[in-house]
């Protein structure tokens, strides 16, 4: 997504951004979810082999958006959400940083 968007809907499941383009609108959507897995050489190798971006944070790899779904199944972890009950998830210390990445990408 880009800072050039003029409309944003940040939902628990998806983030949708829109901007005018002539008489129509261009929209982009991202899955509002992420996972965290232990930072290991094997995890990095698997992500790099599939060209999936990740962010290393204190011994943990964070995988954002749609890329997080298959890895959640592989690593048997639950998807995390940046939003809770329509607001930023205040029970998740990584929520704001992940939400920032999802809307900037």
* pLDDT, tens digit (0-9, with 9 covering 90-100), for 56-66: 999 999 999 99
pLDDT at 91 over 60: yes
| pTM for the full predicted model | 0.81
- pLDDT of res. 64: 93
- pLDDT of res. 42: 94
Strands (E), 32-101: 34-38, 55-57, 60-64, 83-84, 87-88
Three-state secondary-structure class, residue 11: coil
User: pLDDT category, 45, cuts 50, 70, 90?
Assistant: very high
Q: Strands 24-31 and 14-21, how do they pair?
A: antiparallel
- Taking all residues of the chain, what is their mean pLDDT, rounded to a whole number? 88
CB 73 within 8 A of CB 66: no
**Cα dihedral: 78, 44, 42, 73 (round 10):** 20
């Amino acid at each position: 997504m880009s800072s050039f968007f003029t409309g944003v809907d940040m939902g628990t499941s998806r983030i949708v951004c829109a901007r005018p383009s002539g008489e129509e609108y261009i929209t982009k959507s991202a899955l509002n979810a992420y996972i965290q897995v232990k930072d290991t050489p094997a995890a990095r190798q698997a992500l790099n082999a599939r060209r999936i971006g990740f962010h290393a944070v204190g011994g943990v790899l964070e995988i954002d958006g749609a890329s997080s779904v298959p890895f959640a199944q592989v690593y048997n972890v639950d998807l995390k959400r940046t939003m809770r009950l329509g607001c930023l998830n205040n029970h998740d210390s990584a929520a704001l940083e992940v939400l920032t990445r999802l809307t900037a990408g």
